[in-house]
Structure 1
Amino acid sequence: MHILLAALGILAAVAFWLYRARAAVDNTRVVLDAAQDVKAAARRFGYRTRANQHPTEGVDDPRVTGAALLVVVAETDGGISKAEQDEILEQLSSVFGLSARDAEELYLFSKWLANQSSNPDDMMRRLIKHTITLGGRDTLPDMISMVRAVGMADTGTLTDDTQQVIEWLKQLSG
């Protein structure tokens, strides 16, 4: 009887470790798929890595830098909430005229781009400057309305950081 219990114990241990190994493989696959999605979006939106330059300099599309600015604004209060993510996707679809799939792709890539700096203020300035360089000053009214919408998505009020970004944009447009 004790041999039967030992055999069952060994089988249970083997099954447990096989299950854990399969779960690890599945999790790795999810991470790799997400990385492939970001790479595909980067290629689609014309991103090129440039030696000795900040990652924002590799962007040739003002929609990417504008979307990354929205991500940085949403992250300033401690992370992107579901309401902020939904608002970013809505703004990308309505202002840029993107389909839901394209907006999601742009969001994933801009989220990666926004996290390439540990200093959010520096990243915001770089993104604003590069968006204006790529799209011109005509992009500023849309950027202001998009930042305002994302900033108000969670609580209905703007944080001090979001108000500061809007003031920077207003100063540049005036």
Structure 2
Amino acid sequence: MHILAIVVGIIAAAGVWYWRVKAAKEVVDDVGSVVGRVQGRIRMNNFKKKAEGSALASIEDPALAAAVFLHALANEKRDALYLAEPRIREELSRIVADTDLDEVVSYAQWAARDVADARDVVRRFKPLWRRKLTREERADLIVMAETVAELGEGDDHNQKLTLVTLRTALGPEQNR
């Protein structure tokens, strides 16, 4: 009888230790899972930042940059978007070759679709425009932007701020 009690005690102790080890393994697995999810989110956020910026980061043509900016500016006033498309195409036809116009407009529409704020586009392309455009071309870009911003009913506060940002970015080169 004593032997049976000892065997049952050993089996019970082994069961308790097995349960403790299993519970510890589950805790370690849960911690590993949380760490994996956090790492995955970090990687996904980094990828999203690269993907969002890549459409604008690859642009080195000031005319294409202007096209993206004009579309982003037009996107800020949704009610005037249908009016802006032909006007933007008309403005761009003065600075882009006819053979490239459709491609430039299509890419600009696509790239501007994910732009949250047109002022970000101004900040992104300010060095490009200042480096590659003459003072007169910069003034023309400001006029194009004002033309697009005037479309539709009413004034949009974001568009006004964007135009101020553009004028400041492309204005005289003093203190720069």
Same fold (TM over 0.5): yes
Take 1:168 and 1:140, find their aligned partners in 2: how far apart are those partners? 13
User: In structure 2, how many angstroms separate the alpha carbons of the residues matched to 1:56 and 1:82?
Assistant: 23
Report if the CA contact (8 A) 1:148-1:158 is conserved. Answer: no
Q: Say if 1:65 and 1:128, in contact at 8 Å, map to a contact too.
A: no
Alignment partner of 1:98 is 2:97: yes
Is 1:110 aligned to 2:103, yes or no? no
Aligned counterparts of 1:97 and 1:51: Cα–Cα separation in 2: 27
RMSD: 2.9
Task: Please state how far the C-alpha of 1:161 moved relative to its aligned partner.
Answer: 1.9
Give the letter for the 1:57 counterpart: A
Match of 1:55 in 2: 55
TM-score w.r.t. the length of structure 1 is 0.57
TM-aligned CA deviation for residue 168 of structure 1 = 1.7
Name the counterpart of 1:162: 159
1:59-104 residue CA offsets vs partner (Å, 9 max, x unmatched): 121001110000000001237622110100010012x0532x5323
1:126 aligns with 2:124: yes
Find the counterpart in structure 1 of residue 75 from structure 2. 75
Matches of 1:53 and 1:138 in 2, distance apart? 29
Contact 1:140–1:169 (Cα < 8 Å) also in 2: no
The structure having more radius of gyration, on CA atoms, is 2
CA distance in 1, matches of 2:159, 2:51: 32
For 1:72 and 1:51, the matched residues in 2 are separated by 17
Match of 2:144 in 1: 146
Q: 1:113: Cα distance to partner? A: 1.7
Gaps of 5+ in 1: 1-49
For residues 80 and 127 of structure 1, the distance between their equivalents in structure 2, rounded to whole angstroms, comes to 24
| Total equivalences in the alignment | 122
Q: Is residue 55–residue 116 contact of structure 1 (8 Å, CA) maintained in 2?
A: no
Q: 1:135, CA displacement in angstroms?
A: 3.2
In 2, the alpha carbon distance for the partners of 1:87 and 1:52 equals 26
Q: Which has the higher helix share?
A: 2
Compute the displacement of 1:151 (Å).
Answer: 1.0
- Local SS of the residue matching 1:59: coil
What is the distance in 1 between the residues matched to 2:136 and 2:156? Answer: 25
Matches within 5 A, 1:27-66: 54-66=54-66
SS of 2:78's partner is coil
Identity between Structure 1 and Structure 2 (%): 19
Superposed CA offset, 1:34-74 (max 9, x none): xxxxxxxxxxxxxxxx9996432211210011100000000
Alignment map for 1:4-15 (pairs within 5 Å): none
Q: Secondary structure at the match of 2:141?
A: helix
Call closer, same or farther: CA 1:75–1:64 in 2, change over 3 Å.
Answer: same
Check conservation: 1:71, 1:80, Cα contact below 8 A.
no
> Which amino acid counterpart does residue 157 of structure 2 have in structure 1?
D
